[in-house]
């Protein structure tokens, strides 16, 4: 029998404190674009084909296509549609591809810290080593950005037993690692609460396309179907969040852009009926409406 994590209480969504997002909207949407730096010759990498002996040129260069080419096409697409996007950035990008954080900074998009590199995981580290990882990544973003990072997504969504404690102690307000709810959830740490903001494992191009080999047209349909159904559910039920996760090297391939443009246009066409925003603003709005002592 597993050991209880004791990080959050069980709470059916039907029994929550009622609230609405700003301007009485019921559905909040955010689009997260994962932008990752891999270290050449390291075995931990997103796979287009099964990893072979190092150096793995095929998978490394496929991932790097996302930073060199695909991210710029995705930025143009979302600017065309008038949709804000959130950058989930490895701090190594500030050294190897500084134009990427500069582009997000220039457009005023939110940047979430995504660790140092996706060539490593946090789980398996002892507490001093994990604190050093979090602190090093955070300091890179803090030095470059006018606003320090408030949100964290672990590389490979990996945690140790003290990750949430360390993040809260390093000043983070919210974490995206947990996918157990359609609303933000207050999490316990040894020094005070931290907020979990929903992050998707289903509406996620890496899991849907790279892992389950779903066709991009079906993934686009899944985005639209999920959006329409969540609008319906939110209209008569609790206020909810619909996150969408993309990875530049997957979503930014030209043959996929055609289908994704259709899906995201459906969201853009909803106009003021939904709140298309950033996870940080969702966290702030939830904190105002449902403080931890009420959860």
CATH code of residue 115: 3.20.20.370
Total structural domains within the chain: 1
Where is 72: in which H helix or E strand? helix 71-81
Cis-peptide, bond into residue 55, ω within 30° of zero: yes
Q: Which candidate, 194, 185, 74, 78, places its Cα nearest to that of 134? A: 194
Q: Which candidate, 77, 89, 81, 84, places its Cα nearest to that of 29? A: 84
Q: What pLDDT does residue 295 have?
A: 52
Q: Which residue has the tokens 């950033």?
A: 278
Distances 1 to 4, 123, 160 between C-alpha atoms, Å: 9, 21, 19
In degrees and rounded to multiples of 5, residue 15 shows phi and psi of -115, 15
Q: What pLDDT does residue 51 have?
A: 82
**Per the domain annotation, does 285 fall within a domain?**
yes
**Per the domain annotation, does 8 fall within a domain?**
no
**Per the domain annotation, does 221 fall within a domain?**
yes
**Per the domain annotation, does 12 fall within a domain?**
no
Q: What pLDDT does residue 154 have?
A: 97
Distances 121 to 51, 53, 64, 118, 276 between C-alpha atoms, Å: 17, 20, 19, 7, 31
Cα atoms in the 13 Å half-sphere on the side-chain side of 178? 20
Domain that holds residue 223: 27-290
Q: Which residue has the tokens 């080593």?
A: 129
Residue numbers of the chain with a pLDDT score lower than 70: 1-3, 294-295
**Per the domain annotation, does 256 fall within a domain?**
yes
Q: What pLDDT does residue 278 have?
A: 98
**Per the domain annotation, does 55 fall within a domain?**
yes
**Per the domain annotation, does 97 fall within a domain?**
yes
Where is 155: in which H helix or E strand? none
Q: What pLDDT does residue 272 have?
A: 94
Per residue, the 3-state secondary structure of 34-81, as one string, reads EECCCCCCCCCCCCCCCCCCCCCHHHHHHHHHHHHHHHHHHHHHHHHH
Asked whether the beta carbons of 8 and 196 are under 8 A apart, the reply is: yes
Q: What pLDDT does residue 1 have?
A: 45
What residues pair up with 204 in beta bridges, in sequence order?
245
Q: What pLDDT does residue 127 have?
A: 98
Asked whether the beta carbons of 13 and 184 are under 8 A apart, the reply is: no
Largest pairwise CA distance in the chain: 55
Count, in order, helices (H) and strands (E) of the chain: 11, 9
């Amino acid at each position: 029998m597993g050991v209880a994590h004791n990080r959050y209480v069980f709470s059916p969504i039907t029994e929550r404190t009622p609230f609405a997002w700003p301007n009485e909207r019921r559905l909040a949407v955010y689009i997260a674009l994962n932008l990752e730096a891999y270290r050449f010759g390291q075995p931990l990498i997103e796979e287009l084909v099964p990893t072979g002996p190092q150096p793995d040129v095929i998978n490394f260069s496929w991932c790097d296509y996302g930073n060199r080419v695909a991210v710029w096409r995705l930025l143009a697409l979302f600017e065309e549609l008038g949709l804000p996007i959130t950058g989930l950035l490895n701090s190594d990008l500030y050294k190897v591809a500084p134009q990427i954080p500069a582009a997000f900074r220039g457009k005023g998009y939110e940047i979430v810290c995504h660790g140092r590199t996706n060539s490593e995981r946090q789980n398996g580290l002892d507490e001093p080593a994990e604190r050093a990882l979090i602190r090093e990544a955070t300091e890179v973003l803090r030095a470059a950005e006018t606003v320090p990072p408030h949100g964290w997504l672990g590389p490979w969504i990996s945690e140790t037993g003290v990750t949430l404690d360390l993040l809260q102690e390093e000043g983070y307000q919210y974490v995206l690692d947990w996918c157990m709810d359609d609303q933000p959830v207050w999490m316990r740490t040894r020094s005070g609460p931290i907020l979990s903001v929903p992050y998707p494992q289903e509406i996620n191009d890496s899991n849907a396309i790279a892992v389950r080999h779903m066709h991009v047209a079906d993934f686009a349909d899944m985005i639209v179907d999920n959006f329409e159904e969540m609008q319906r559910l939110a209209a008569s039920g609790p206020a909810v969040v619909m996150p969408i996760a993309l990875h530049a090297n997957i979503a930014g391939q030209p043959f996929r852009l055609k289908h994704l443009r259709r899906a995201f246009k459906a969201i853009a066409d909803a106009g003021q009926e939904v709140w298309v925003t950033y996870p940080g603003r969702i966290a702030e709005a939830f904190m105002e409406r449902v403080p931890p002592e009420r959860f």
